[in-house]
């Protein structure tokens, strides 16, 4: 790709953390300007990050390494407008609330929050508290928000229940478009991926379908995999960087949210959600029995149709199934890159009882990739 078409946001996070493309990794596809889920117009993301204390675990006091991520599909101005949506579970040892209604209706009409396993309930309930007064006086409103989780108890005082309503409100209030921080932020703060420091990651792709250009964006909270399984662009990186293991066992989960502005129906969104597993597989994922690998996809298209009042016909446009392959490619590529960036754009973290999750060492990664001719 021509150098003049490379956005600086592809290379570094807003805080200056180097991303995978900043290391020179030849990742496939063309991202949007931010290389983030927020490249899909209208999507807003916010974080609340809680890092407090050091030393031995004292339940209820810390150390605390956790947080909340909020994703608003149509931003704060479109809270009452549903999106076409679908979800899929590769392995169900985890939680994503609200998905029974997503499956039934083919729609998503609430913000999405992601946090730690033992704070999933409060994230769900706090979302309703935040949402209710913002629904323009709809007094009979009710909601089934999507709240999802992964386990951060290796680093965090997870049974101390440190996530509060205020942290969820902070993530929702702070949600914005634009470039996104990655790594140990929001719900991803205490997460571990392939036994490197993992957490929040995002990427996007511009694709052409039915003669028009669309954007596919992906956000991951990565907390899965064993070190020796870690694969980057076909290179068995984890087999060459074997030091400083923390977990050394198949544990953890991954939550993935896919957004697109392409006009698709709910059943097609579910098909996009299924393709997340293929992007995971490119990084070495097996879908361990102990892992909750759960994916949600939505489309921001057809806002006018979804805004139609009861008693009137909805008029929608929709890609044919025969034209949807480029979106599948975008999902697979963006998922792969988001997972890699959740490790690359990150740092070593010390948590409870001195447990240390090392950041993926850039110099060793580059050396291994060069050895395999991938740089």
- Enzyme catalytic residues: 253, 291, 293
d(CA 319, CA 310): 25
Report helix, strand or coil for 198: coil
Asked if omega into 63 is within 30° of 0 (cis), the reply is yes
Residues contacting 7, CB < 8 A, separation 6+? 31, 33, 34, 35
Give the C-alpha separation, 246 to 358, whole Å: 8
In this structure, how many other beta carbons lie within 10 angstroms of the beta carbon of residue 140?
Answer: 4
d(CA 146, CA 163): 17
| 112-116 and 146-150 strand pairing | parallel
DSSP character string of 71-134: EETTTGGGTTS-EEEEEEEEEESS-BTTHHHHHHHSEE-S-EEEEEGGGHHHHHHHHHHHHGGG
For residues 20-49, one letter each, b for 16 or more C-beta atoms within 10 angstroms of the residue's C-beta and e for the rest, the string is bbbbebebebebbbbbbbbbbebbbbbbbb
Instruction: Report the 10 Å Cβ neighbour count for 313.
Output: 7
CB 365 within 8 A of CB 23: yes
Cα gap 273→281, rounded to integer Å:
14
Residues 6+ apart with CB under 8 A from 58: 157
């Amino acid at each position: 790709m021509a150098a003049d078409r490379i956005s600086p946001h592809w290379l570094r996070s807003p805080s200056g953390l180097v991303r995978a493309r900043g290391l020179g990794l030849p990742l496939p596809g063309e991202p949007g300007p931010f290389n983030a889920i927020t490249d899909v117009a209208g999507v807003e993301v916010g974080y609340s990050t809680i890092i407090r204390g050091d030393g031995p675990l004292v339940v209820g006091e810390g150390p605390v390494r956790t947080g909340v991520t909020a994703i608003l599909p149509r931003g704060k101005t479109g809270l009452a407008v549903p999106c076409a949506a679908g979800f899929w579970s590769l392995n169900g040892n985890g939680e994503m609330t609200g998905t029974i209604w997503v499956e039934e209706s083919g729609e998503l009409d609430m913000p999405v929050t992601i946090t730690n396993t033992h704070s999933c309930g409060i994230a769900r309930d706090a979302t309703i508290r935040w949402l209710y007064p913002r629904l323009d006086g709809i007094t009979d409103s009710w909601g089934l928000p999507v709240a999802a989780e992964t386990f951060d108890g290796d680093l965090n005082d997870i049974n101390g229940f440190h996530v509060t309503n205020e942290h969820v409100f902070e993530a929702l209030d702070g949600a914005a478009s634009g470039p996104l921080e990655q790594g140990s932020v929001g719900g991803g703060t205490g997460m571990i991926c392939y036994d490197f420091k993992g957490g929040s990651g995002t990427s996007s792709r511009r694709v052409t379908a039915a003669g028009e250009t669309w954007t596919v964006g992906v956000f991951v909270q990565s907390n899965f995999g064993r070190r020796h399984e870690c694969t980057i662009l076909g290179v068995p990186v984890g087999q060459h960087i074997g030091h400083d293991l923390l977990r050394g066992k198949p544990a953890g989960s991954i939550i993935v949210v896919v957004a697109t502005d392409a006009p698709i129906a709910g059943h097609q969104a579910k098909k996009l959600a299924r393709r997340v597993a293929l992007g995971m597989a490119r990084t070495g994922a097996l879908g361990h029995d102990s892992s909750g690998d759960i994916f949600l996809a939505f489309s921001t298209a057809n806002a006018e149709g979804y805004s139609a009042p009861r008693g009137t016909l909805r008029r929608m446009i929709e890609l044919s199934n025969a034209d949807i392959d480029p979106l599948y490619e975008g999902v697979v590529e963006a998922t792969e890159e988001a997972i890699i960036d959740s490790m690359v754009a990150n740092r070593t973290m010390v948590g409870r009882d001195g447990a240390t999750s090392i950041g993926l060492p850039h110099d060793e990664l580059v050396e291994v990739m060069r050895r395999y001719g991938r740089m």
